[in-house]
Amino acid sequence: MRKILVSACLLGYPCRYDGKSNLEPKIFELKKKYILIPICPEQFGGLPTPRNKSERKGTKVISESGSDVTAFFLHGAEKTLEIAKKENPLFCILKENSPSCGVHFIHDGNFQGKKISGQGITTEYLKKHHYLLYSEQDFLKKN
């Protein structure tokens, strides 16, 4: 069976910053046809769950409390890339708007809910290595 790398929150894992998930049943159902490899770059990078909300501001990731958490996000992206290289997924489905996994959009860094065009740090790493990337919204539109 072919493999797909998937943001763990989309598979129902409670790994969001607030300890909740973003379960998408249609994505979860892919387990019938593919091996799903859950990833959570924030946890891979050493951040706890729950944790302060974080947003990208340029090349940095800043938590709502004002802490620079960029190093955690970079480490999580590196760990995710290691997994992708080992598992060789057919494609990846990543959580849109996330500072790690946003494919087309991220929050603007001001913690006001505004979204801007941009990518999460993990998405950038995977894209540089030519992995096929979809947001959950891309996937749901096509299926």
Query: What whole-number distance in Å separates Cα of residue 48 and Cα of residue 64?
Result: 15
Output the six-digit token pair for 131. 């992995």
DSSP string, the chain: --EEEEEGGGGT-S-STTS-----HHHHGGGGTSEEEEE-HHHHTT--SS---EEEETTEEEETTS-B-HHHHHHHHHHHHHHHHHH--SEEEE-TB-TTT-SSEEE-SSSSS-EEE---HHHHHHHHTT--EEEHHHHHHH-
Strand partners, 106: 97, 116
Give mean pLDDT, residues 46-64.
Answer: 97
The two structure tokens encoding residue 47:
């951040």
**Mean pLDDT throughout 48-59?**
96
pLDDT of residue 82: 98
Residue of 88, 86, 56, 76 whose CA lies nearest to 125: 76
Q: What is the pLDDT of residues 116-140, one digit of tens each?
A: 999 999 999 999 999 999 999 999 9
Model pLDDT for residues 19-44, shown as the tens digit of each residue: 999 999 999 999 999 999 999 999 99
Q: What is the mean pLDDT of residues 47-71?
A: 97
- Band (pLDDT 50/70/90 cuts) for residue 143 is confident
State the amino acid at position 33 in one-letter form.
K
**How high is the pLDDT of residue 137?**
96
- The mean pLDDT of the chain is 97
Q: Residue ranges per domain, the chain?
A: 3-91+114-136
Q: How confident is the model at residue 142 (pLDDT cuts 50, 70, 90)?
A: confident
Token pair 């340029």 in the structure block, residue = 58
